[in-house]
A and B are shown apart, each in its own frame.
Chain A
Amino acid sequence: MTASGKVVSMREAIAAHVRDGDSVVIDGFTHLICFAAGHEIIRQGRRDLTLCRLTPDLVYDQMIAAGCARKLVFSWAGNPGAGSLFAFRRAVEVSDPPLEIEEYSHFGMVARLAAGAANLPFWPLRDYAGTDLPAVNPQIRTVTCPFTGEQLAAVPALNPDVAIVHVQRADASGNAQVWGLLGTQKEAAFAARRVIVVCEELVTEEVIRADPNRTLIPGLVVHAVVREPWGAHPSYAQGFYDRDNDFYVAWEAIGRDERRLRGWLDEWVFGLPDRAAYLAKQPGLRERLAADVRMAAGVNYGF
Protein backbone atom coordinates (compact mmCIF):
# COMPACT_ATOMS: atom_id res chain seq x y z
CA MET A 1 0.00 0.00 0.00
CA THR A 2 1.45 3.40 -0.92
CA ALA A 3 1.63 6.01 1.77
CA SER A 4 -0.55 8.49 -0.08
CA GLY A 5 -3.17 5.76 -0.58
CA LYS A 6 -3.64 5.53 3.18
CA VAL A 7 -4.86 9.10 3.66
CA VAL A 8 -8.65 9.08 3.43
CA SER A 9 -11.68 10.82 4.87
CA MET A 10 -13.32 9.48 8.04
CA ARG A 11 -16.28 8.36 5.96
CA GLU A 12 -14.01 6.36 3.65
CA ALA A 13 -11.98 4.87 6.50
CA ILE A 14 -15.04 3.60 8.37
CA ALA A 15 -16.71 2.34 5.18
CA ALA A 16 -13.57 0.42 4.21
CA HIS A 17 -12.48 -0.98 7.55
CA VAL A 18 -15.41 -1.34 9.97
CA ARG A 19 -17.91 -4.07 9.08
CA ASP A 20 -21.06 -5.39 10.75
CA GLY A 21 -20.16 -7.98 13.38
CA ASP A 22 -16.59 -6.70 13.86
CA SER A 23 -14.82 -6.40 17.18
CA VAL A 24 -13.77 -2.76 17.48
CA VAL A 25 -11.45 -0.87 19.81
CA ILE A 26 -11.69 2.91 19.77
CA ASP A 27 -8.77 3.44 22.11
CA GLY A 28 -7.59 6.26 24.39
CA PHE A 29 -7.78 6.41 28.19
CA THR A 30 -9.76 9.61 28.86
CA HIS A 31 -7.25 11.25 26.48
CA LEU A 32 -7.51 10.95 22.65
CA ILE A 33 -10.84 9.09 22.43
CA CYS A 34 -11.92 9.39 18.81
CA PHE A 35 -15.56 10.48 19.05
CA ALA A 36 -15.48 11.48 15.37
CA ALA A 37 -14.96 7.81 14.45
CA GLY A 38 -17.69 6.64 16.86
CA HIS A 39 -20.14 9.11 15.35
CA GLU A 40 -19.28 8.05 11.78
CA ILE A 41 -19.82 4.38 12.72
CA ILE A 42 -23.25 5.37 14.09
CA ARG A 43 -24.05 7.34 10.91
CA GLN A 44 -23.09 4.43 8.69
CA GLY A 45 -25.44 2.19 10.70
CA ARG A 46 -23.00 -0.55 11.72
CA ARG A 47 -24.63 -3.35 13.70
CA ASP A 48 -23.67 -6.28 15.95
CA LEU A 49 -20.31 -4.82 16.89
CA THR A 50 -18.33 -6.16 19.83
CA LEU A 51 -17.11 -2.94 21.41
CA CYS A 52 -13.92 -3.27 23.45
CA ARG A 53 -12.36 -0.57 25.64
CA LEU A 54 -11.16 -0.33 29.23
CA THR A 55 -13.54 2.57 29.83
CA PRO A 56 -16.52 2.57 27.43
CA ASP A 57 -16.87 6.32 28.12
CA LEU A 58 -19.55 8.43 26.44
CA VAL A 59 -18.51 7.28 22.97
CA TYR A 60 -19.64 3.69 23.57
CA ASP A 61 -22.69 4.87 25.54
CA GLN A 62 -23.69 6.75 22.37
CA MET A 63 -22.95 3.74 20.14
CA ILE A 64 -24.92 1.43 22.44
CA ALA A 65 -27.84 3.89 22.40
CA ALA A 66 -27.67 4.01 18.59
CA GLY A 67 -27.95 0.22 18.35
CA CYS A 68 -24.44 -0.50 17.03
CA ALA A 69 -23.40 -2.93 19.78
CA ARG A 70 -24.11 -6.60 20.35
CA LYS A 71 -21.50 -7.01 23.09
CA LEU A 72 -19.31 -4.90 25.36
CA VAL A 73 -15.87 -5.98 26.60
CA PHE A 74 -14.68 -3.57 29.29
CA SER A 75 -13.28 -2.90 32.77
CA TRP A 76 -14.91 0.35 34.00
CA ALA A 77 -18.23 1.56 32.61
CA GLY A 78 -18.89 4.93 34.18
CA ASN A 79 -18.93 8.56 33.12
CA PRO A 80 -15.44 9.53 34.36
CA GLY A 81 -15.66 12.18 37.06
CA ALA A 82 -19.39 12.68 36.49
CA GLY A 83 -21.45 9.53 37.14
CA SER A 84 -23.14 6.82 35.08
CA LEU A 85 -23.40 5.65 31.50
CA PHE A 86 -27.17 5.36 31.35
CA ALA A 87 -27.55 3.80 27.89
CA PHE A 88 -25.16 1.06 29.04
CA ARG A 89 -27.07 0.68 32.30
CA ARG A 90 -30.44 0.41 30.56
CA ALA A 91 -28.95 -2.13 28.14
CA VAL A 92 -27.83 -4.30 31.08
CA GLU A 93 -30.56 -3.60 33.66
CA VAL A 94 -33.77 -3.59 31.55
CA SER A 95 -33.25 -4.23 27.81
CA ASP A 96 -34.56 -7.51 26.47
CA PRO A 97 -32.36 -9.23 25.54
CA PRO A 98 -29.71 -7.51 27.63
CA LEU A 99 -26.45 -6.32 26.08
CA GLU A 100 -23.92 -9.12 26.31
CA ILE A 101 -20.99 -8.14 28.55
CA GLU A 102 -17.52 -9.56 29.19
CA GLU A 103 -15.90 -7.86 32.14
CA TYR A 104 -12.34 -7.57 33.47
CA SER A 105 -10.35 -5.12 35.59
CA HIS A 106 -8.11 -2.53 33.91
CA PHE A 107 -5.03 -4.70 34.38
CA GLY A 108 -6.87 -7.62 32.76
CA MET A 109 -7.81 -5.55 29.71
CA VAL A 110 -4.27 -4.13 29.43
CA ALA A 111 -2.90 -7.69 29.64
CA ARG A 112 -5.33 -8.95 26.98
CA LEU A 113 -4.19 -6.29 24.52
CA ALA A 114 -0.52 -6.87 25.42
CA ALA A 115 -0.93 -10.59 24.63
CA GLY A 116 -2.68 -9.75 21.36
CA ALA A 117 0.07 -7.33 20.37
CA ALA A 118 2.82 -9.85 21.21
CA ASN A 119 1.15 -12.75 19.35
CA LEU A 120 0.76 -14.78 22.54
CA PRO A 121 -2.41 -16.77 23.40
CA PHE A 122 -2.70 -15.38 26.93
CA TRP A 123 -1.02 -13.12 29.48
CA PRO A 124 -0.29 -14.05 33.11
CA LEU A 125 -0.90 -11.62 35.96
CA ARG A 126 -1.15 -11.59 39.74
CA ASP A 127 -4.78 -10.71 40.04
CA TYR A 128 -8.38 -11.79 40.71
CA ALA A 129 -7.86 -14.25 43.61
CA GLY A 130 -10.68 -13.74 46.09
CA THR A 131 -12.82 -11.73 43.68
CA ASP A 132 -16.07 -12.77 42.01
CA LEU A 133 -14.91 -11.70 38.54
CA PRO A 134 -13.75 -15.19 37.41
CA ALA A 135 -17.13 -16.60 38.50
CA VAL A 136 -18.98 -14.34 36.04
CA ASN A 137 -16.32 -14.34 33.32
CA PRO A 138 -15.04 -17.84 32.44
CA GLN A 139 -12.36 -16.22 30.27
CA ILE A 140 -10.48 -15.29 33.47
CA ARG A 141 -8.58 -18.47 34.32
CA THR A 142 -5.49 -19.59 36.19
CA VAL A 143 -2.19 -20.97 34.97
CA THR A 144 0.59 -22.72 36.86
CA CYS A 145 4.05 -21.27 36.40
CA PRO A 146 6.31 -23.99 34.90
CA PHE A 147 9.29 -22.65 36.86
CA THR A 148 7.97 -21.88 40.34
CA GLY A 149 4.69 -23.80 40.46
CA GLU A 150 2.85 -20.60 41.43
CA GLN A 151 -0.77 -20.16 40.42
CA LEU A 152 -1.29 -17.01 38.40
CA ALA A 153 -4.34 -15.49 36.77
CA ALA A 154 -4.45 -15.65 32.98
CA VAL A 155 -6.49 -13.71 30.45
CA PRO A 156 -6.78 -14.48 26.74
CA ALA A 157 -5.30 -12.36 23.98
CA LEU A 158 -7.57 -9.69 22.53
CA ASN A 159 -7.08 -9.28 18.79
CA PRO A 160 -9.77 -6.88 17.62
CA ASP A 161 -10.74 -6.71 13.97
CA VAL A 162 -10.24 -2.94 14.02
CA ALA A 163 -8.41 -0.47 16.25
CA ILE A 164 -9.05 3.25 15.87
CA VAL A 165 -6.35 5.35 17.48
CA HIS A 166 -6.46 9.13 17.75
CA VAL A 167 -3.05 10.85 17.89
CA GLN A 168 -1.66 14.37 17.91
CA ARG A 169 0.28 14.00 14.67
CA ALA A 170 1.02 11.44 11.99
CA ASP A 171 2.52 11.35 8.54
CA ALA A 172 0.83 10.00 5.42
CA SER A 173 2.19 6.50 6.11
CA GLY A 174 0.59 6.45 9.56
CA ASN A 175 3.74 6.90 11.64
CA ALA A 176 2.00 8.31 14.68
CA GLN A 177 3.33 10.48 17.49
CA VAL A 178 1.59 10.85 20.83
CA TRP A 179 2.37 12.75 24.02
CA GLY A 180 0.42 12.98 27.24
CA LEU A 181 -1.44 9.92 28.55
CA LEU A 182 -0.63 6.86 26.45
CA GLY A 183 -3.44 4.53 27.53
CA THR A 184 -3.28 1.26 25.59
CA GLN A 185 -3.00 2.84 22.14
CA LYS A 186 0.21 1.03 21.21
CA GLU A 187 -1.00 -2.39 22.36
CA ALA A 188 -4.39 -1.92 20.67
CA ALA A 189 -2.77 -0.95 17.36
CA PHE A 190 -0.35 -3.89 17.35
CA ALA A 191 -3.09 -6.32 18.44
CA ALA A 192 -5.63 -5.32 15.77
CA ARG A 193 -6.06 -6.79 12.30
CA ARG A 194 -6.78 -3.35 10.80
CA VAL A 195 -5.67 0.01 12.18
CA ILE A 196 -7.09 3.46 11.51
CA VAL A 197 -4.93 6.35 12.75
CA VAL A 198 -6.79 9.63 13.20
CA CYS A 199 -4.61 12.70 13.68
CA GLU A 200 -4.97 16.30 14.73
CA GLU A 201 -2.14 17.25 12.34
CA LEU A 202 -0.91 15.51 9.22
CA VAL A 203 2.82 16.19 9.09
CA THR A 204 5.70 15.32 6.80
CA GLU A 205 7.89 12.30 7.36
CA GLU A 206 10.72 14.73 8.26
CA VAL A 207 8.80 15.91 11.34
CA ILE A 208 8.44 12.30 12.49
CA ARG A 209 12.08 11.44 11.78
CA ALA A 210 13.29 14.49 13.73
CA ASP A 211 11.86 12.99 16.96
CA PRO A 212 11.58 9.21 16.60
CA ASN A 213 11.24 8.52 20.35
CA ARG A 214 7.85 10.18 20.23
CA THR A 215 6.50 7.71 17.66
CA LEU A 216 4.09 5.35 19.44
CA ILE A 217 2.78 3.48 16.40
CA PRO A 218 4.81 2.82 13.26
CA GLY A 219 3.10 3.21 9.91
CA LEU A 220 3.87 -0.41 9.06
CA VAL A 221 0.89 -1.55 11.17
CA VAL A 222 -1.46 1.20 9.92
CA HIS A 223 -4.05 0.78 7.15
CA ALA A 224 -5.70 4.20 7.00
CA VAL A 225 -4.83 7.73 8.07
CA VAL A 226 -7.53 10.34 8.68
CA ARG A 227 -6.84 14.01 9.41
CA GLU A 228 -9.58 15.11 11.75
CA PRO A 229 -8.84 18.20 13.88
CA TRP A 230 -10.78 18.22 17.17
CA GLY A 231 -11.85 14.67 16.34
CA ALA A 232 -11.57 13.61 19.96
CA HIS A 233 -13.92 16.24 21.46
CA PRO A 234 -15.41 16.02 24.16
CA SER A 235 -12.34 13.95 25.05
CA TYR A 236 -9.12 15.89 24.61
CA ALA A 237 -5.76 16.08 22.88
CA GLN A 238 -2.89 17.27 25.09
CA GLY A 239 -1.43 20.49 23.69
CA PHE A 240 -4.41 20.96 21.34
CA TYR A 241 -7.60 21.19 23.41
CA ASP A 242 -8.83 20.47 26.94
CA ARG A 243 -11.35 17.85 27.96
CA ASP A 244 -14.88 19.27 27.76
CA ASN A 245 -15.76 18.44 31.36
CA ASP A 246 -18.95 20.50 31.09
CA PHE A 247 -20.20 18.16 28.37
CA TYR A 248 -19.31 15.05 30.41
CA VAL A 249 -21.34 16.49 33.31
CA ALA A 250 -24.20 17.47 30.96
CA TRP A 251 -24.29 13.92 29.57
CA GLU A 252 -25.71 12.75 32.92
CA ALA A 253 -29.05 14.43 32.19
CA ILE A 254 -28.99 13.57 28.46
CA GLY A 255 -28.12 9.91 28.99
CA ARG A 256 -30.61 9.41 31.81
CA ASP A 257 -33.57 10.19 29.54
CA GLU A 258 -33.88 7.80 26.60
CA ARG A 259 -35.89 10.27 24.47
CA ARG A 260 -33.51 13.11 25.15
CA LEU A 261 -30.57 10.88 24.23
CA ARG A 262 -32.31 9.93 20.97
CA GLY A 263 -32.81 13.64 20.28
CA TRP A 264 -29.16 14.32 20.98
CA LEU A 265 -28.07 11.63 18.50
CA ASP A 266 -30.49 13.03 15.89
CA GLU A 267 -29.14 16.54 16.31
CA TRP A 268 -25.42 15.92 16.77
CA VAL A 269 -24.74 12.69 14.87
CA PHE A 270 -27.44 11.74 12.33
CA GLY A 271 -28.23 15.39 11.59
CA LEU A 272 -24.66 16.27 10.65
CA PRO A 273 -22.58 15.02 7.70
CA ASP A 274 -19.19 15.01 9.41
CA ARG A 275 -16.92 16.38 12.13
CA ALA A 276 -16.41 19.69 10.32
CA ALA A 277 -20.15 20.32 10.61
CA TYR A 278 -20.06 19.27 14.28
CA LEU A 279 -17.38 21.91 14.91
CA ALA A 280 -19.13 24.58 12.84
CA LYS A 281 -22.23 24.04 15.00
CA GLN A 282 -20.37 25.07 18.18
CA PRO A 283 -18.22 28.08 17.30
CA GLY A 284 -17.29 28.83 20.94
CA LEU A 285 -15.43 25.55 21.37
CA ARG A 286 -11.97 26.80 20.46
CA GLU A 287 -12.18 29.81 22.72
CA ARG A 288 -13.37 27.67 25.63
CA LEU A 289 -11.08 24.67 25.27
CA ALA A 290 -7.98 25.46 23.20
CA ALA A 291 -4.84 24.39 25.11
CA ASP A 292 -2.41 26.87 26.59
CA VAL A 293 1.27 26.63 25.65
CA ARG A 294 3.73 24.59 27.74
CA MET A 295 6.53 23.67 25.35
CA ALA A 296 9.17 21.09 26.30
CA ALA A 297 12.81 21.65 25.43
CA GLY A 298 14.04 19.56 22.51
CA VAL A 299 16.79 16.92 22.74
CA ASN A 300 19.91 16.31 20.69
CA TYR A 301 19.63 13.22 18.48
CA GLY A 302 23.13 13.75 17.10
CA PHE A 303 25.93 11.22 17.19
Chain B
Amino acid sequence: MVAAAPYTPQELMTVVAARELRDGEVVFVGIGLPNLACNLARATHAPNLVLIYESGAVGAVPERLPVSIGDPALVTGALMVASMADTFQCLLQGGRIEVGFLGGAQVDRHGNINTTAIGDYARPRVRLPGSGGATEIAIHARRTLVVGALSPRAFPAEVDFITTPGLRSRGRTRRELGHPGAGPVRVITDGGVLEANAGSGELELAALFPGVTADGVRERVGWPLVVRASLQPVAPPSAEDVRLLRDVLDPGRLFLKR
Protein backbone atom coordinates (compact mmCIF):
# COMPACT_ATOMS: atom_id res chain seq x y z
CA MET B 1 0.00 0.00 0.00
CA VAL B 2 1.42 3.31 -1.09
CA ALA B 3 1.25 6.16 1.38
CA ALA B 4 -1.02 9.11 0.70
CA ALA B 5 0.82 12.02 -0.88
CA PRO B 6 0.29 15.75 -0.54
CA TYR B 7 -2.08 16.74 -3.30
CA THR B 8 -4.19 19.64 -4.54
CA PRO B 9 -8.02 19.61 -4.59
CA GLN B 10 -7.84 19.69 -8.40
CA GLU B 11 -5.64 16.58 -8.41
CA LEU B 12 -8.03 14.74 -6.11
CA MET B 13 -10.95 15.82 -8.32
CA THR B 14 -9.18 14.29 -11.31
CA VAL B 15 -8.38 11.08 -9.42
CA VAL B 16 -11.96 10.70 -8.17
CA ALA B 17 -13.21 11.30 -11.71
CA ALA B 18 -10.87 8.57 -12.97
CA ARG B 19 -12.16 6.14 -10.31
CA GLU B 20 -15.67 6.50 -11.74
CA LEU B 21 -14.59 4.59 -14.84
CA ARG B 22 -14.70 0.80 -14.83
CA ASP B 23 -12.22 -1.29 -16.76
CA GLY B 24 -13.46 -2.19 -20.23
CA GLU B 25 -16.04 0.57 -20.49
CA VAL B 26 -16.55 2.56 -23.67
CA VAL B 27 -16.02 6.24 -22.91
CA PHE B 28 -16.61 9.30 -25.07
CA VAL B 29 -13.91 11.66 -23.86
CA GLY B 30 -14.43 15.41 -23.57
CA ILE B 31 -11.80 18.13 -23.77
CA GLY B 32 -9.82 19.32 -20.70
CA LEU B 33 -9.92 17.54 -17.35
CA PRO B 34 -12.06 14.60 -18.58
CA ASN B 35 -9.27 13.85 -21.05
CA LEU B 36 -6.75 13.79 -18.18
CA ALA B 37 -9.01 11.68 -15.92
CA CYS B 38 -9.67 9.10 -18.65
CA ASN B 39 -5.97 8.74 -19.38
CA LEU B 40 -5.23 8.42 -15.65
CA ALA B 41 -7.83 5.65 -15.40
CA ARG B 42 -6.23 3.87 -18.36
CA ALA B 43 -2.81 4.14 -16.71
CA THR B 44 -4.08 2.72 -13.40
CA HIS B 45 -7.13 0.54 -12.73
CA ALA B 46 -8.74 0.51 -16.19
CA PRO B 47 -6.14 -0.51 -18.80
CA ASN B 48 -8.88 -1.82 -21.10
CA LEU B 49 -10.90 1.37 -21.15
CA VAL B 50 -12.02 2.07 -24.73
CA LEU B 51 -11.40 5.76 -25.31
CA ILE B 52 -13.43 7.33 -28.10
CA TYR B 53 -12.80 10.94 -29.06
CA GLU B 54 -15.23 13.04 -31.09
CA SER B 55 -12.43 13.53 -33.61
CA GLY B 56 -13.03 9.90 -34.60
CA ALA B 57 -10.21 8.09 -32.76
CA VAL B 58 -11.62 4.80 -31.42
CA GLY B 59 -9.67 2.74 -28.89
CA ALA B 60 -7.03 5.45 -28.61
CA VAL B 61 -3.85 4.65 -26.66
CA PRO B 62 -2.09 8.04 -26.63
CA GLU B 63 1.60 7.83 -25.77
CA ARG B 64 1.50 11.45 -24.62
CA LEU B 65 -1.37 13.38 -23.07
CA PRO B 66 -3.34 14.74 -26.01
CA VAL B 67 -3.35 18.53 -25.73
CA SER B 68 -6.42 18.67 -27.93
CA ILE B 69 -9.01 16.01 -28.66
CA GLY B 70 -7.69 15.89 -32.22
CA ASP B 71 -4.07 15.15 -31.30
CA PRO B 72 -2.10 12.93 -33.72
CA ALA B 73 -1.10 10.68 -30.79
CA LEU B 74 -4.76 9.57 -30.61
CA VAL B 75 -4.43 8.01 -34.05
CA THR B 76 -1.10 6.19 -33.66
CA GLY B 77 -1.97 2.67 -32.45
CA ALA B 78 -5.77 3.24 -32.29
CA LEU B 79 -8.24 0.47 -33.15
CA MET B 80 -10.05 2.62 -35.71
CA VAL B 81 -10.27 6.09 -37.12
CA ALA B 82 -13.91 6.85 -37.91
CA SER B 83 -15.15 9.81 -39.89
CA MET B 84 -16.99 12.29 -37.70
CA ALA B 85 -20.25 11.32 -39.41
CA ASP B 86 -19.71 7.70 -38.35
CA THR B 87 -18.55 8.75 -34.88
CA PHE B 88 -21.72 10.72 -34.14
CA GLN B 89 -24.20 8.58 -36.05
CA CYS B 90 -23.03 4.98 -35.63
CA LEU B 91 -21.12 5.13 -32.35
CA LEU B 92 -22.95 7.81 -30.35
CA GLN B 93 -26.51 7.96 -31.76
CA GLY B 94 -26.25 4.22 -32.42
CA GLY B 95 -26.12 3.68 -28.65
CA ARG B 96 -22.60 2.26 -28.34
CA ILE B 97 -21.28 4.70 -25.73
CA GLU B 98 -21.49 3.69 -22.06
CA VAL B 99 -19.99 6.80 -20.48
CA GLY B 100 -19.90 10.39 -21.67
CA PHE B 101 -17.31 12.45 -19.81
CA LEU B 102 -17.66 16.22 -19.91
CA GLY B 103 -16.28 19.37 -18.35
CA GLY B 104 -18.61 22.27 -17.80
CA ALA B 105 -18.20 26.02 -17.50
CA GLN B 106 -21.51 26.22 -15.61
CA VAL B 107 -23.54 23.37 -14.11
CA ASP B 108 -26.91 24.03 -12.49
CA ARG B 109 -29.10 22.42 -9.86
CA HIS B 110 -30.57 20.03 -12.44
CA GLY B 111 -27.27 19.16 -14.08
CA ASN B 112 -27.82 21.34 -17.14
CA ILE B 113 -24.52 22.57 -18.57
CA ASN B 114 -23.79 25.94 -20.11
CA THR B 115 -20.73 26.18 -22.34
CA THR B 116 -22.29 28.78 -24.66
CA ALA B 117 -22.58 32.24 -23.12
CA ILE B 118 -22.65 34.05 -19.78
CA GLY B 119 -25.30 36.78 -19.88
CA ASP B 120 -27.43 37.62 -22.91
CA TYR B 121 -26.87 35.30 -25.88
CA ALA B 122 -26.94 38.08 -28.49
CA ARG B 123 -24.46 40.25 -26.60
CA PRO B 124 -22.84 38.01 -23.98
CA ARG B 125 -20.68 39.19 -21.09
CA VAL B 126 -18.48 36.19 -21.78
CA ARG B 127 -18.79 34.22 -24.95
CA LEU B 128 -17.84 30.57 -24.26
CA PRO B 129 -16.88 28.10 -27.02
CA GLY B 130 -20.29 26.44 -27.42
CA SER B 131 -21.44 22.83 -27.56
CA GLY B 132 -18.86 20.92 -29.50
CA GLY B 133 -20.17 17.39 -29.15
CA ALA B 134 -21.35 17.85 -25.55
CA THR B 135 -25.05 18.31 -26.37
CA GLU B 136 -25.39 14.95 -28.07
CA ILE B 137 -22.91 13.15 -25.82
CA ALA B 138 -25.07 13.88 -22.75
CA ILE B 139 -28.24 12.93 -24.64
CA HIS B 140 -26.98 9.55 -25.90
CA ALA B 141 -24.30 8.17 -23.56
CA ARG B 142 -25.80 5.64 -21.14
CA ARG B 143 -24.51 7.75 -18.27
CA THR B 144 -22.71 11.06 -18.19
CA LEU B 145 -20.02 12.20 -15.78
CA VAL B 146 -19.19 15.86 -15.35
CA VAL B 147 -16.07 17.28 -13.76
CA GLY B 148 -15.61 20.89 -12.63
CA ALA B 149 -14.33 23.03 -9.73
CA LEU B 150 -16.91 24.50 -7.32
CA SER B 151 -17.76 28.20 -7.24
CA PRO B 152 -21.06 30.08 -7.03
CA ARG B 153 -20.49 31.31 -10.59
CA ALA B 154 -19.79 27.83 -11.92
CA PHE B 155 -22.72 26.23 -10.04
CA PRO B 156 -25.70 28.61 -10.37
CA ALA B 157 -29.27 27.57 -9.50
CA GLU B 158 -30.12 27.89 -13.17
CA VAL B 159 -27.72 28.27 -16.08
CA ASP B 160 -28.05 31.27 -18.41
CA PHE B 161 -28.14 28.96 -21.41
CA ILE B 162 -28.75 25.21 -21.64
CA THR B 163 -26.11 23.92 -24.04
CA THR B 164 -26.29 20.36 -22.72
CA PRO B 165 -29.43 18.96 -21.12
CA GLY B 166 -29.24 17.64 -17.57
CA LEU B 167 -31.70 15.68 -15.45
CA ARG B 168 -34.48 18.16 -15.97
CA SER B 169 -34.45 20.99 -18.51
CA ARG B 170 -36.84 23.95 -18.13
CA GLY B 171 -39.13 21.68 -16.10
CA ARG B 172 -39.11 18.72 -18.49
CA THR B 173 -37.70 15.32 -17.55
CA ARG B 174 -35.37 13.31 -19.76
CA ARG B 175 -38.13 10.80 -20.37
CA GLU B 176 -40.46 13.56 -21.57
CA LEU B 177 -37.70 14.85 -23.82
CA GLY B 178 -37.02 11.36 -25.21
CA HIS B 179 -33.36 11.19 -24.24
CA PRO B 180 -31.94 7.66 -24.44
CA GLY B 181 -29.21 8.12 -21.79
CA ALA B 182 -29.49 8.69 -18.03
CA GLY B 183 -27.79 12.10 -18.19
CA PRO B 184 -25.35 13.52 -15.62
CA VAL B 185 -25.53 10.92 -12.87
CA ARG B 186 -22.45 12.29 -11.08
CA VAL B 187 -20.69 15.64 -10.98
CA ILE B 188 -17.18 15.40 -9.58
CA THR B 189 -16.06 18.68 -8.03
CA ASP B 190 -12.98 19.78 -6.08
CA GLY B 191 -14.89 19.48 -2.78
CA GLY B 192 -17.01 16.40 -3.18
CA VAL B 193 -19.26 14.45 -5.48
CA LEU B 194 -22.77 15.54 -6.44
CA GLU B 195 -25.15 12.79 -7.43
CA ALA B 196 -28.45 12.82 -9.28
CA ASN B 197 -31.65 12.24 -7.33
CA ALA B 198 -33.81 10.42 -9.84
CA GLY B 199 -37.01 11.55 -8.12
CA SER B 200 -36.39 15.27 -7.80
CA GLY B 201 -34.07 15.59 -10.77
CA GLU B 202 -31.66 17.54 -8.58
CA LEU B 203 -27.99 17.14 -7.84
CA GLU B 204 -27.31 16.31 -4.18
CA LEU B 205 -24.11 16.15 -2.18
CA ALA B 206 -23.23 12.46 -1.88
CA ALA B 207 -19.53 12.35 -1.00
CA LEU B 208 -17.06 14.73 0.62
CA PHE B 209 -13.33 15.13 0.08
CA PRO B 210 -11.06 14.87 3.13
CA GLY B 211 -10.96 18.13 5.09
CA VAL B 212 -14.01 19.61 3.34
CA THR B 213 -17.30 20.22 5.14
CA ALA B 214 -20.80 20.06 3.69
CA ASP B 215 -21.18 23.75 4.50
CA GLY B 216 -17.94 24.42 2.64
CA VAL B 217 -19.49 22.86 -0.47
CA ARG B 218 -22.84 24.62 0.01
CA GLU B 219 -21.11 28.00 0.13
CA ARG B 220 -19.74 27.39 -3.33
CA VAL B 221 -23.04 26.30 -4.87
CA GLY B 222 -25.77 28.74 -5.92
CA TRP B 223 -28.80 26.83 -4.65
CA PRO B 224 -29.84 25.23 -1.34
CA LEU B 225 -27.93 22.02 -1.94
CA VAL B 226 -29.47 18.87 -0.46
CA VAL B 227 -26.89 17.02 1.65
CA ARG B 228 -27.48 13.29 1.98
CA ALA B 229 -27.83 11.89 5.48
CA SER B 230 -24.87 9.61 5.04
CA LEU B 231 -21.99 11.03 3.03
CA GLN B 232 -19.53 8.66 1.42
CA PRO B 233 -15.91 9.24 2.40
CA VAL B 234 -13.44 9.86 -0.40
CA ALA B 235 -10.01 8.27 -0.18
CA PRO B 236 -7.09 10.59 -0.95
CA PRO B 237 -5.06 9.92 -4.08
CA SER B 238 -2.25 7.40 -3.88
CA ALA B 239 1.35 8.52 -4.28
CA GLU B 240 1.29 6.72 -7.63
CA ASP B 241 -1.78 8.69 -8.79
CA VAL B 242 -0.04 11.96 -7.95
CA ARG B 243 3.20 10.85 -9.58
CA LEU B 244 1.37 9.84 -12.78
CA LEU B 245 -0.52 13.11 -12.96
CA ARG B 246 2.47 15.36 -12.31
CA ASP B 247 5.37 13.53 -13.92
CA VAL B 248 3.86 11.40 -16.66
CA LEU B 249 0.47 12.65 -17.82
CA ASP B 250 0.63 16.43 -17.41
CA PRO B 251 4.24 17.43 -16.77
CA GLY B 252 3.74 20.71 -18.66
CA ARG B 253 0.78 21.54 -16.37
CA LEU B 254 -1.58 22.20 -19.25
CA PHE B 255 -4.59 21.03 -17.28
CA LEU B 256 -3.41 20.91 -13.67
CA LYS B 257 -2.56 24.12 -11.90
CA ARG B 258 0.56 24.07 -9.76
B-contacting residues of A (Cβ < 8 Å)? 29-31, 54-55, 74-78, 80-82, 84-85, 88-89, 92-93, 98, 103-107, 110-111, 114, 125-133, 136, 150-151, 179-184, 186-187, 236, 238, 242-243, 245, 248-249, 291, 294
B interface bracket (residues with beta carbon within 8 Å of A): 35 or more
Q: Contacts A236-B72, A238-B72 hold; do A182 and B179 have CB atoms under 8 A apart?
A: no
State whether A30 and B71 are in contact (beta carbons under 8 Å apart), knowing that A75-B132, A110-B84 are contacts in the complex: yes
B8 close to chain A: CB less than 8 A: no
16 contacts between A and B (CB under 8 A): A29-B56, A77-B127, A77-B130, A78-B129, A81-B69, A98-B123, A106-B54, A110-B85, A130-B177, A131-B163, A132-B161, A133-B116, A243-B68, A243-B70, A245-B67, A248-B68
Of A80, A107, A114, A183, the contact of B68 (CB 8 Å cutoff):
A80
Q: Smallest CB–CB gap between B102 and chain A, Å? A: 12
Taken residue by residue from 119 to 134, chain B's Cβ proximity to chain A (1 for < 8 Å, 0 otherwise) reads as: 0011111111111111
Known: A127-B139, A182-B56. 10 other contacts (CB 8 A): A74-B130, A75-B130, A80-B70, A81-B68, A81-B71, A182-B82, A184-B83, A243-B70, A243-B72, A249-B254
- In the complex, the chain A residue whose C-beta lies closest to that of B92 is A107
A136 contacts B121, C-beta separation under 8 Å: yes
Query: Closest CB-CB distance, A192 to chain B, in whole Å?
Result: 16
Chain B nearest Cβ from A57, distance in angstroms: 10
Which residues of chain B from 77 to 120 have a CB within 8 Å of any chain A CB? 81-85, 88-89, 92-93, 116
Given contacts A105-B132, A130-B169, A294-B76, contact A181 B162 (CB under 8 A): no
Nearest B residue to A31 by beta-carbon distance?
B70
Does A133 contact B131, Cβ atoms closer than 8 Å?
Answer: yes
Asked if B165 is at the interface (CB within 8 A of a chain A CB), the reply is: yes
Partner of B84, one of A82, A85, A182: A182
Neighbouring A residues of B161 by C-beta, 8 Å? 132
What 3 pairs between A and B have smallest CB-CB spacing?
A: A30-B70, A78-B129, A130-B169
| Contacting residues, chain A, for B133 (C-beta < 8 A) | 76, 105-107
Which of A89, A93, A107 is within 8 Å of B136, CB to CB?
A107
Is there an interface contact between A181 and B68, defined as CB atoms closer than 8 Å? no
Given the known inter-chain contacts A80-B68, A93-B125, A294-B76, please indicate yes or no for A31 contacting B55, CB distance below 8 A. yes
Contact indicator A75/B55 (Cβ below 8 Å): no
Most chain B C-beta atoms within 10 Å of own C-beta, residue among A103, A182, A187? A182
Q: How far apart are the CA atoms of A183 and B135 in the complex, in Å?
A: 18
Closest chain B residue to A131 by CB distance?
A: B162
CB <8 Å contact, B85 and A133: no
Question: Which residues of B32-91 are within 8 A (CB) of A?
Answer: 54-57, 66-72, 74-76, 81-85, 88-89
> Out of B31, B56, B134, B162, which one reaches A132, CB within 8 Å?
B162
Considering the complex, give the chain A residue whose CB is closest to the CB of B35. A81
Question: Which of chain B's residues has its CB closest to A151's CB?
Answer: B178
Asked whether B140 is an interface residue with its Cβ less than 8 Å from the other chain, the reply is yes
Q: Which of A92, A126, A129, A245 contacts B93 (CB 8 A)?
A: A126
In the bound complex, what is the Cα–Cα distance between A55 and B177 (angstroms)? 28
Chain B residues within 8 Å of A103, by CB = 116, 130-131
- Chain B nearest Cβ from A271, distance in angstroms: 28
Flag if A181 contacts B56 (CB, 8 Å): yes
Contact A92 B124 (CB under 8 A): yes
CA distance A131 to B178 in the complex (A): 13
The CA-CA distance from A104 to B84 in the complex, in Å, is 15
Across the interface, name the chain A residue whose C-beta is closest to B133.
A106
